[in-house]
Amino acid sequence: MKISVAGTGYVGLVTGICLAENGHNVTCVDVDEGKIKIMQEGRTPIFEPGLQELMTKNKDRLTYTTDYKEAYKDAEVIFIGVGTPEKKDGSANLSYVFAVVDQIADSITKECVVVVKSTVPIGTNDKVEDALKDRLNGRLKVHVASNPEFLAQGTAVRDTLHASRIVLGVEDEFSEKKLREVYAGVDAPVVVTNRRSAEMIKYASNDFLALKISYINEIANLCEVIGADIADVAKGMSYDSRIGDRFLNAGIGYGGSCFPKDTKALNWLANFNDHEIKTVKAAIEVNDNQKLLPVKKAGKYYKDLKGINVAILGLTFKPGTDDLREAPSLVTVPILLDDGANVKAWDPVGVSNFKKRVEGDITYCDTIDETLKDADICFIFTEWPQVKELDLSRFKELMRTPVIIDGRNCFDIKKVMDVKGIVYDSIGRAAIDTRQ
């Protein structure tokens, strides 16, 4: 099948390459000439495990271009996978979506299905259909379908090729038939519903996971006060099949391109319709506060961070990605700089993007050892395998004052207690001081 994909970010590029892996001929379209040139040279512009290998493997079925007219004119299915960034009021910015809609209307020469894969507010697909019909004015028949993505950064390729489910929001048999052909090679449950329900499935799913994370973080904060251990609490909860063991890792909050944006967008949509989703509103507040927890914890050990040597391990919002969107480091590091701290930071893939987002006198290190050398306090913001596998004795050997604020609970408390001469303060567990 001849397919075009608008947008080459996480959603668009992963979708396009994985569709090629499933045997389709795919044209990926973007307005960014720099990104297109990189892809035409055979390289992926984003860091995502497994994506480069699939791009190389399927190079004969993949085309990258800025020429949308050529890309859309005879496509059977056109996926819209552009960004829908958060506006200042929390609503979703749909300008990129409708810019693509205009391009499609100017370009198509045959009946086709336009599939909105971007995360969009409920009712957007209806507006896309209206816009296309107005522009085409009966010249061609076009169908609009909703097909939300459920991929996570770091596991996006696996999530797409081995999907947990495929949701098809359709209003006619033609759209359903075409989309079933698109996904014929994917072994996953197919949920067929109307477009508005499909749009809501995406928001409801993401916001539920955000709620789960915020809930366990609230429980973790209470555990610290009453002397319980969140690791044991979460383990005890996980054996209940109704709860499960995923998204029960306490920490300093969620980040990325989905949860923060989608919780705010659903909250805005509810308010716009004179409705309130109190749980989602609370999750947003909990997550914002959780990101500040490391700095608050540091106050127990230093009254003033001016002149203090600070080591930062991890900048991205989670391991396996170079994405910094809504990462706790973006909140905390500027605070540390404003307080006069001397900051050294390490991340295996996120430094380049962090430099674009945060200005200041930061020393970026190539190794964890270099970052820890002579530090007075260490903050762990990302649970990279290199951090979790670190010998705890290295903190004692390398740091001037081995105080560790672990925002991701990377280490087992029992192992921490075996290391003499460190302070280890994590989330939802008692702080450990083995200096005496």
Q: Which residues contact 265 (CB under 8 A, 6 or more apart)?
A: 84, 86, 90, 91, 92, 119, 121, 203
* Residue 305 Cα to chain centre, angstroms: 31
Query: Could you say which of 258, 365, 378, 410 is catalytic?
Result: 258
DSSP per position, 102-130: HHHHHH--S-EEEEE-S---TTHHHHHHH
Bridge partners (DSSP) of residue 89 are: none
> Is the Cβ–Cβ distance between 29 and 104 less than 8 Å?
no
* Two structure tokens written together for 359: 């200005």
| Encoded tokens for 276 | 């309130």
- Please choose, from the candidates 321, 252, 262, the residue with its C-alpha nearest in 3D space to the C-alpha of residue 289: 252
CA 180 to chain centre: 27
Query: Which neighbouring-strand residues pair with 192?
Result: 168
Concerning whether 258 is annotated as a catalytic residue, the answer is yes
Amino acid at 294: P
CA angle 304, 308, 310 (to 5 degrees): 120
Q: Widest CA span of the chain, in angstroms?
A: 81
Contact 382, 347 (CB under 8 A): yes
- Report the alpha-carbon distance of residue 132 to residue 88 in Å, rounded: 28
DSSP H or E segment with residue 22: none
Which runs of E-coded beta strand occur in 21-165?
25-29, 62-65, 77-80, 112-116, 142-146
Task: Please identify every residue annotated as catalytic.
Answer: 258
